[in-house]
Amino acid sequence: MTSIQDFRARRTEGQAKLEALDHLGIKRLLTIDTQTYKDSADKGGLDERTKELLGLASSAVLRCDDCIIYHIERCVSLGVTRDEIVDALSVVYVVGGSITVPHLRRAVTALDELLAEREGS
């Protein structure tokens, strides 16, 4: 697995290239993505932490490692605890089955790296 720093660099570079396409449809989808994860608890919706946990679980069931790492990083930055993330990953295992296990292994490795990074700050 690549390190968190490698992931961030690769994602940043790729995101810049995607945005440079200046395509209306892509711009709209990126905006929808950004808006979807915003906190809406004050309007009776879900808070940002919960939305990121849902994004994590969905991404893991779909087996997208980049998305899994992204959502774990967002969860850690929002103060979601290790136990809360592990609980979400247990739901993934039940819903997604044993095929998700390799992704869960990478998820836990990324989680440990991110938590160590946060504690070192």
> What confidence score (pLDDT) does residue 120 get?
87
* Distance between CA atoms of residues 114 and 73, nearest Å: 7
Per-residue pLDDT of the chain (121 residues; tens, 9 = 90+): 568 999 999 999 999 999 999 999 999 999 999 999 999 999 999 999 999 999 999 999 999 999 999 999 999 999 999 999 999 999 999 999 999 999 999 999 999 999 999 988 7
Rg of the chain over all Cα atoms, to the nearest angstrom = 15
Question: For residue 1, what pLDDT is reported?
Answer: 54
pLDDT in tens, 24-41: 999 999 999 999 999 999
pLDDT digits (tens, 9 = 90+) for 58-71: 999 999 999 999 99
* Domains present along the chain, CATH in parentheses: 4-120 (1.20.1290.10)
What are the angstrom distances between the C-alpha of 79 and each of 63, 85, 98, 109?
24, 10, 28, 18
